[in-house]
């Protein structure tokens, strides 16, 4: 127990003794974790927008004049990617037309009866499945024609996939960068105490005893950087969301404090893990070298 | 602590023979002077005992531990039973005299109260208690040497290795340091002292082991300093 107390004291001493380096490390860790957090928020928002657009994206399947609507609906529901179907009767279609073009819809009635066909509005589970579903729908004999925003669907699918890949690369790069920064700081601290460590090992210090203060130092620096990054990110994000909502009210941005809280927690855990691993690696490498006899 | 060297040879790369075919034995509580010219192998022999140096050939046994087979953790525990007075003191300049001695006991995980008591006692014993809050560069050469001895003996080791403990000290200060080391030996600690100090070896006579070009050329009880290897 006393050994842990001495290690904590020495870890703190290391931070204070190299205060310039410590501040620089906290600042760098903060910047890196801020980038990680910001890119995560960006990805989450893009996914939220894409998902909201996906929900609005439907396929309209028009039926042949004497088609059996119930049998067709059953056939559509049996398709693999279909999430939801809604029958639009001829009257409903006319009503929609009226609400869209107003009194001009009366012109349609000049033909004597409602010429609009029955149709189904179909939602799919994922935007990337729209084109495939459309192909399957047209193969149903009762379906005369289909209409959907084909290019929009394809673009959304591409954006969604790109954002996912980009976010993973971004996170890996940022985590590796924070690890390298912390690794180097600890290595500099270790080398600045080279002589001291040599004497410690000569008087019987175990590797764990030698390593612990450096690991504590790295842990404190990493977690402090992540904590500051979380605070800064929270402040910046909510102020940005407030402004964006005024300028672009139709874009659905994430405002859940629970989600941002979870993100802050994730950043702090990430900071703790990365700092522990990188400090252990830095100090272990040195100790192995220092304890190797001639 | 008993020490036994059996046919120890150490060759540093590429082909510097530091020790050659050393057979050497000491019993618990013995006192031995290691003498020889600079570069003869005295320090290498001491470093073999702390396992800073591993022999190319031969076996070393210290206190029943076969050093070749000792692992990293057990080596740390083994070293706690050895006090080392380094040739260049190796005091930590950013710690006070008190802290320089205390950290040996911290390494062993002793509680602060016990550390304080033991460090105070040993600093009084070596006569630098009043200088305890000064940093090593603020101490004289003699005081630094006393501090170095205090650090070596504070854990109550069974073996004391002293590499030139009276180097660069005047005879009066060297006498005081020697009294300290002899006192420690009288309390049962085995002592190996590498020295060039003819005055000390001839005044406080003990067993003398002379090393010349890595080989033991003389081993005599109650010996004198005069170097035979250089003749």
CB contact under 8 A, A204 and B51: no
| Nearest-CB residue to A203 (from B94, B107, B112) | B107
CB contact under 8 A, A293 and B106: no
In the structure encoding, which two tokens stand for residue B139, read together?
């101490």
Residue by residue, pLDDT tens for chain A (294 residues) are 777 878 888 788 878 877 888 888 888 888 888 888 888 888 888 878 877 776 677 888 898 888 888 888 888 888 888 888 888 888 888 888 777 777 676 676 676 677 788 888 888 877 777 778 888 888 888 888 888 766 666 677 777 778 778 878 877 887 788 788 778 877 777 777 777 788 888 888 888 888 888 888 888 888 998 999 999 998 898 888 888 888 877 777 888 788 888 888 988 888 888 888 888 888 887 888 777 777
CA distance B7 to B60: 9
CB contact under 8 A, B103 and A202: no
Q: What is the DSSP letter of A78?
A: T
Closest CA to A272 of A232, A224, A209: A224
CA distance B231 to B225: 13
CA distance B106 to A205: 9
Q: Treating both helix axes as pointing N-terminal to C-terminal, what angle do A257-290 and A207-247 enclose, rounded to 10 degrees?
A: 150
Model pTM score = 0.68
Q: Provide the shortest C-alpha distance from residue B13 to chain A (in Å).
A: 10
CA distance B214 to A162: 70
Q: How many CB atoms are located within 10 Å of the residue B31 CB?
A: 20
Characterize the bridge pairing of strands B82-85 and B65-66.
Answer: unpaired
pLDDT tens, position by position, B30-71: 999 999 888 888 999 999 999 989 999 999 998 888 888 888
Q: Provide the shortest C-alpha distance from residue B202 to chain A (in Å).
A: 31
Q: Which residues contact B57 (CB under 8 A, 6 or more apart)?
A: B7, B8, B9
ipTM of the complex: 0.78
> Which chain A residues in 201-230 lie under 8 Å from chain B, judged by CB atoms?
201-207, 209
C-beta pairs of A186-190 under 8 Å, 24+ apart in sequence: A186/A214, A186/A217, A186/A218, A186/A278, A186/A279, A186/A282, A186/A283, A187/A282, A187/A286, A188/A18, A188/A21, A189/A14, A189/A18, A189/A21, A189/A214, A189/A217, A190/A214, A190/A282, A190/A283, A190/A286
pLDDT tens, position by position, B11-28: 988 888 888 898 999 998
**Whole-Å CA distances, B140 to A139, B131, B137:** 100, 11, 8
CA distance A61 to A149: 13
């Amino acid at each position: 127990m006393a050994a842990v107390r001495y290690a904590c004291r020495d870890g703190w001493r290391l931070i204070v003794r190299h205060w310039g380096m410590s501040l620089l490390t906290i600042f760098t860790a903060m910047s890196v974790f801020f980038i990680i957090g910001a890119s995560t928020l960006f990805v989450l928002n893009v996914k939220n927008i894409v998902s909201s657009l996906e929900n609005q994206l439907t396929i309209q399947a028009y039926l042949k004049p004497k088609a059996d609507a119930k049998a067709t609906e059953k056939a559509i529901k049996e398709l693999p990617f279909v999430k939801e179907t809604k029958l639009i009767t001829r009257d409903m279609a006319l009503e929609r037309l009226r609400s869209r073009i107003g009194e001009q819809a009366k012109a349609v009635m000049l033909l004597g009866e409602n010429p609009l066909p029955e149709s189904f509005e179909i939602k799919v589970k994922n935007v990337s499945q729209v084109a495939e579903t459309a192909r399957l729908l047209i193969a149903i004999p009762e379906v005369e024609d289909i209409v959907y925003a084909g290019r929009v669907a394809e673009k959304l699918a591409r954006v969604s996939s790109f954002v996912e890949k980009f976010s993973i690369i971004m996170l890996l790069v940022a985590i590796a960068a924070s690890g390298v920064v912390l690794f180097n700081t600890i290595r500099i601290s270790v080398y600045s105490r080279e002589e001291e460590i040599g004497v410690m090992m000569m008087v019987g210090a175990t590797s764990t005893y030698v390593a612990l203060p450096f690991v504590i130092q790295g842990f404190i620096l990493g977690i402090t950087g992540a904590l500051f990054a979380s605070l800064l990110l929270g402040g910046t994000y909510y102020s940005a969301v407030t402004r964006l909502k005024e300028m672009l009210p139709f874009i659905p941005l994430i405002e859940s404090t629970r989600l941002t809280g979870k993100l802050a927690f994730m950043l702090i855990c990430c900071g703790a893990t990365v700092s522990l691993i990188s400090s252990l690696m830095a100090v272990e490498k040195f100790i192995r070298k220092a304890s190797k006899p001639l | 602590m008993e020490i036994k060297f059996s046919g120890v040879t150490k060759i540093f790369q590429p082909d510097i023979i530091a020790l050659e075919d050393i057979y050497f034995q000491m019993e618990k509580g013995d006192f031995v002077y290691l003498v020889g010219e600079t570069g003869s192998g005295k320090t290498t022999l001491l470093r073999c005992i702390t396992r800073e140096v591993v022999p190319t050939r031969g076996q070393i046994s210290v206190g029943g531990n076969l050093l070749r087979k000792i692992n990293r953790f057990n080596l740390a525990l083994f070293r706690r039973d050895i006090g080392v007075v380094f040739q260049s003191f190796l005091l930590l300049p950013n710690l006070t005299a008190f802290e320089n001695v205390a950290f040996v006991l911290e390494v062993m995980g002793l509680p602060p109260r016990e550390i304080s008591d033991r460090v105070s006692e040993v600093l009084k014993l070596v006569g630098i208690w009043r200088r305890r809050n000064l940093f090593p560069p603020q101490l004289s050469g003699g005081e630094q040497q006393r501090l170095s001895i205090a650090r070596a003996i504070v854990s109550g080791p069974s073996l004391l290795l002293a590499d030139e403990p009276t180097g660069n000290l005047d005879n009066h200060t060297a006498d005081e340091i020697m009294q300290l080391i002899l006192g420690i030996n009288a309390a049962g600690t085995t002592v190996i002292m590498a020295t060039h100090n003819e005055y000390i070896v001839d005044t406080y006579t003990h067993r003398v082991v002379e090393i010349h070009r890595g080989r033991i050329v003389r081993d005599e009880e109650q010996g004198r300093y005069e170097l035979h290897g250089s003749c």
